[in-house]
Structure 1
Amino acid sequence: MKKSSSTYGILVLAMAMMLLGTSTMVAQVLNKPIAADNPNLAGNSAWTAACASANFNEYFVNFTWSPPLVDPSNEFILELSDAYGNFGSPRELARLADKNTVFDFEFEFALPNDIRGEGYKFRVRSTSPAKTSPASDAYPMYFIDYNLPLLISQNGSGTIPAGGLIQICDGGSVTLKPHNIPNAGTYLYNWYRSGTLLPQKTESITVSTPGMYYVELDYGSICSGSANTLSNTIEINNGTSMGIAINGDSNVQLCPGDPYTLEASITGIGLTYTWYKDGSVVSGPTLEGSTFAVNTGITGFEGSYEVEISGASACTERSSAVVLTGAGSFEVSRQNDENIVLLPSQTKTLSVSTTASSPSYQWYKDGSPIASATTSSLVINAIGEYYAEVTENGGGCSSGPKNSEITTVVSPDSFELVIEFIGAYADCDNTDATISLAAVKAVSDTGAKTDVTSDLESSFAYQWKLDGAAIIGETSKTITVSNHEKNGAYKLDGTLDGFNAVSNTLNVKLSPNSNLNISANGTVLCEGGEAITLTSSQSLANETFEWVKDGQIVDTSSESYTVNEIGVYQLIIRTSDCPITSNELTIRAFDESLLVLDKPKDLIIIEGETGTITASGADSYEWFDANNNLIGTQDSYGFQEEGQYLLVANFGSCTVSRVITVAYRDMFAIPNVITANGDGINDLWILPNTYSRDQNVLVTIFNERGEQVFSQTAYENNWPQSTMAFNKPSMIFYYKISRGGKALKQGTITVIK
């Protein structure tokens, strides 16, 4: 609706719209989608849960919408929420471009193969105009990618006990786990004990309570049963402990290569044995496997060993641990860097450490022993490959010598520097950037590179360069750039003892530290209203810029932009290396429902009191009386007089008008019986103040033959003036109360004499 200079014209138009029931704008209504039956399956009904699989994955939802027609280029898109009904990152299921004149149709879709949850919702989005429907009801939806019966066993070992029975000792427990499903950790599970659903949803379950245990994959309240994953049953019973143990000492020291066998304390009664090292199975379960030979000839045989027994004659029980340690083993560790760069006239010290109790040392260079190099450290001044050989000369076990790791010492042919950004950096996102030396590498004549940062980074002299030119005063290992005018290619040069090192190049593109804002003379677009103009907070002269609507360029030459479509608008200046992007302005379509009144527009008040109506949603308000006089400009107005009033609400250049009718509430009814007997009680016909003593109100009384017997404006509650006119004990009269020729009240008066 266009704002008019004539308030009277607005009043007339608003009243006409009320009488005709018209609106200034009608928009499409997108209804929420609902599950629909599959037309390809005879006798099918609408689905209540989607239980899809590789063998069946065909579903339909019904969608309806109301005109006016969408644009010819429009597409309707069916979107799916996450498993909790949230649309933060919706997934597109289907897209239709041929339904722009069809108001009731079905989307067909297939369920993605990673869908598992109880609370998925749908919605439909149109692209032109851009609208979104309400979300659908929540539906359980699962893609059943595994639908074979599970097999469970103790610890998922794959061995199902005879008769499915496992006995556990009092206070003991057993872990049940499926052993035939790939990617088992990606699923949720329903574990049961004797038919009761347990709270655990994990791949394995540790139990100590007797009962019948089985499991299925959790595909939700509806789909789990149809997936056919219910497992075998394991019966857990309590038994009596037999006191299983490992014979011998609980701590045993062994020399490398010495044979050693662990032996269970209970044997020969048909038991199954499982041997553990550091909690992991190393042997079994094996029937009658009551011994375990430890291979002490391999590195890492040391550890904590246990044995577990099970069988028809025993409950499942695990022994205490026996700890095996190596008596003659020792370690040798290099105490310097793996690669060392040796400059001319420099020396370096190499060293090793060992756990041997009585070690002797021999250093080697390039595979040959170095004379007199028999201590734990060695001072070198030549390039080559160095290591130390350590021999254990004490203890009860014989042991061969062990070599340390090799240290490679090189003489550099050149050096190179590596620079990196410190912290997060992205072109045109940052307003400052810090670059620092990350590594110093020595380069041999063969091109091999050795990291020598810790040795030499403090020895170099540095100079930063921008686009090949030295930056005055920037001679440290780190530089901070905080001005977009200093954008360019940065490098670091270094010098040391005649060596000139050059770094890699890092290009810096900082965003101008500028706040670009756009504003508008309104944000609501209505037909016939004033044009909405977007303007920039800074001059666009000599700038390269783009006005953008919904991400698409709409103008590149106008310093201000006139809006003729709803959408989200921005201004982008591209003169610098990095674009400057303004705030977003959303221009929305005009909708009369934006104006909200807190009370009905037909207001009833008590005479002498004030009735207030408060409006909200608009930019400004104007209140007019019946004579078109402006009586208020706030969002609320207090009414004290009867009559018709006009509210004009302004939304930018658009307006909404509402006619307010104010009437008095009758505090008491018009009497229909009087007793004209002269006793001073109820002798006169008394009207409420609403109708008495008002020059604009006419009171007329007729007798039973329709003859006028009384007529008075500004009625003074003075009828009848005499009782002599009543010649019967009871007479009936008719009254009519009018204002300006319009009847307000009418009825009968019974006069009793």
Structure 2
Amino acid sequence: MKQNYKSYYLTTLLVFLGFLQLSAQAIIINAPEPADNPNLAGNSVWGYICAGNGGFNEYFVNVTWAGTANAGNEFILELSDASGSFSAPTELVTVTDKNTVNDFDVSFSIPTDTRGLNYKMRVRSTDPVKIGTESPAYNMFYMDITNNLNISELGDGVPPGSVCATGPITLQVDNIPNPETYQYIWYRSGTLLTGETGHTLTVSQSGMYNAYVDYGPNCTGSGNTDSNIVDVTIGGTGSGIAINPPSKTILCPTDSEILSIDQTDAAWSYQWYKNDVAIMGAIGTTYTVNGGVAGFEGDYAVEISGTGICTERSAPVTMSNPGSYSITRVNPENVVLLPTIPQTLSVVTDASSPTYKWFKNGGEIAGETTSTLNVTEGGNYYAQVTETGGSCGSTSKNSETTVVVTPASFELVLDYAGNYTSCVSTSIVLEVATINAVASDGTKTDVTEDLRNAFAYQWQKDGSTISGQTGNSISIASNLENGSYTVNATIDTYNETSNALAVQLLTGDTVTISSTGTVYCSASDLITLSASLDLATESFEWQLDGSMISTTNTNLNVSATGTYRLVLNRDGCELISNEVTISPLDENLISLEPAGNMVIPEGTTRTITASGGTAYRWMDPNNTEISTSDSAAITEPGTYTLIASIGNCDIVRQFEVSILDTFKVPNVITVNGDGINDQWVIPNSYSNRPDVNVIIYNGQGEEVLNEFDYKNNWPQTSTAFTKQNMVFYYKIRNANEVLKQGTITVIR
């Protein structure tokens, strides 16, 4: 009989598993189809999407599917990219309440960056996992720009109306954010410019130009983005007018100069400008500049205009008086005269035909008549520039004064080359970082780049010369070289010593600590920490959570949980070991799979596995050891014991094993008081279980029993059964699912 029960449950299980497999596969999701928007009047089934205009962005699709969806299933409406690819789909909406509805409509909104002609949609389910059929391609545009564009040549937001140019110009959209992220439609005199889709357009032909944001064939017209029209004329004279070179550009008070345009045309109009301001009445082909008029100096140009030509202005001509030139000192204001290095002073001028003289301390230096001067002595120097002004004589100007000094001494500043932290760094390079020339008044001038390689150096440590170290830097690679460093530097008659720089490097040695365990069980347990170095000759301290706990124990017996480390004193620096964390015993570290008590079919074997320990011992109900691995085979009912070790700590776990009842849930009971089948007795896999809920309903759907840990004691009396063959309904469930349900017929 037991074998028959086993065969029955095995057959039932196989059928159930087959049903689950069929259910997981038996779902088909059709392509979503455009649907009517119930919030709009009339029939509003869409064939393309033009969203965003006026803020509108609500559309509907119809979803149909066939098969069986599980209780936790979700239907997700997805949108492809603009090319129709679902490699990275956008989730538009998730539907959770249609798992029993095979035909429904759902609303969605498109993302604000949607712009393209080939968007597709599909529906995906999560339980079972299924990807539905893709829809056809649709034009979809979110029209976030719905105002008139402005196009201009200058990009300043001002509609130009018309532009006249002698060569190609560029028109651009200039009144919307990030215009380069959109595509455009450009027209010239009503003709579409094929292939021109950018926010700029190079114009080389005359015509009337305007543009739209390209929202596709269905949406562009409703986007209201048509731009202003720019009338572009390309052509005109294109000859590049100019002013004839004047005979002189420097005018004395008695001088005048006639400026004239290099080409003329009876159809042209002329206008002369000074410093870009139109000169009133100057509308001829020539203009006379009078040196006797105050403020005549400036830049003069002429502009032409006329019917059928583009307005064009010449390059300017500068007119000045003899004293209008400038002179500029090229070298610094203060120059240090360095040993072995000559210094050159120089000036530049915009005078047309200058002559030069140099002066030292107010006296002229004979023979120095160029724009440069080599100096070998200290003093105050300047250059005098003279400009010959024709009939009004000559004008002279002096440059700014240069102070040339000879240093009284030099200052050498040492620094660390790179990042350096005392007792952290294990190597460092010291270098001569700065060399200052110090004047007699204490003024310092940085001459590092000029003299860094000119000095002769000798490095010293703690006042003693370091043999062979004669460069402008020194490399220190060991804590054995710790100390105070200086460098002595000589050049010509100067002999200088730098500042002192301390070096405190950490030793390159390492120290590690280890422990006999990492879990502290109780005060009776012993965990010992030891070091990789012999501590007998070391100065050290053991630390717990950063605080000192011992300076004498070469091996430390642990008496508390926390983080331990060892700190050695090496040459005034701390040499810190790795950290070892000793944790308190946590019984939750040991877990069993499956967890809790076990119910196994009679004659079968179940395996239980433990994790979190370092060693295991399994005991059967007779306290006989059955395994020392992380798992054990269970075949008999009773109380089993696991002793799991974590380090030197033991954790004991016990669990009950019972045999699965092989009888079915009865659907008939007889409450006649004969002691046979008077109560509804169900298998022990359901009864006496605090995690299993048993519910019984009468024929009117009212609960007559609702219990966890059911004791097989319903009904407790037969008085409630007023009729023969009363039918009740039961449901047996746990926290996640219904385990069993059916009917109970009560016979009196």
Coarse TM-score class (shorter-chain normalised): 0.3 to 0.5
Q: Which has the larger radius of gyration?
A: 2
* Higher relative contact order (CA closer than 8 Å, sequence separation 6+): 1
The alignment's TM-score, normalised by the length of structure 2, stands at: 0.45
The alignment's TM-score, normalised by the length of structure 1, stands at: 0.44
